[in-house]
Amino acid sequence: MGALSIIIDFPSDQTGTEAKNFGIDSGIGGNPMSLTPEQIQQVAHLARLELRPEQLAPYAGQLSSILEMVDQLRQAETDEVLPMAHPLDMVQRLRADAVTASDQRERFQTLAPQAEGGLYVVPKVIE
């Protein structure tokens, strides 16, 4: 398994700030990845979120923990695991493909304010 790499490109915005990017690498068995408060501020700017300075450090820790968990998941051996559509070995129960309701079109059209030729007539709304 290779290292987990996350690259985020920050395009220049309308204020003339030049494009930036940062990357986070974590080799399996290496140092745990961590985001800096500055990186959190950049991501918040891209997401158009306003974060107070005292929120940056907690968010950096929480997002770093999420990325570390993703790194741990990448370590799981999945080469022999077959893809599945459902976690349980079940078959979808299907109902019989049979008509169960009778045709009541005539009855419904008698209730309509105006019907013509089997169609409902409605006021014209688009000129």
**Domain assignments of the chain as residue spans, ordered by start:** 4-74
Which tokens sit at 6?
């996350």
**23/7 Cα distance (integer angstroms):** 4
Q: What is the pLDDT of residues 31-42, one digit of tens each?
A: 456 888 888 999
Check: CB of residue 42 under 8 Å from CB of residue 10: yes
Q: What is the pLDDT of residues 2-25, one digit of tens each?
A: 444 555 555 555 544 444 444 555
Least confident window among 19-33, 65-79, 93-107, 110-124: 19-33
Q: What is the pLDDT of residues 112-124, one digit of tens each?
A: 999 999 999 999 8
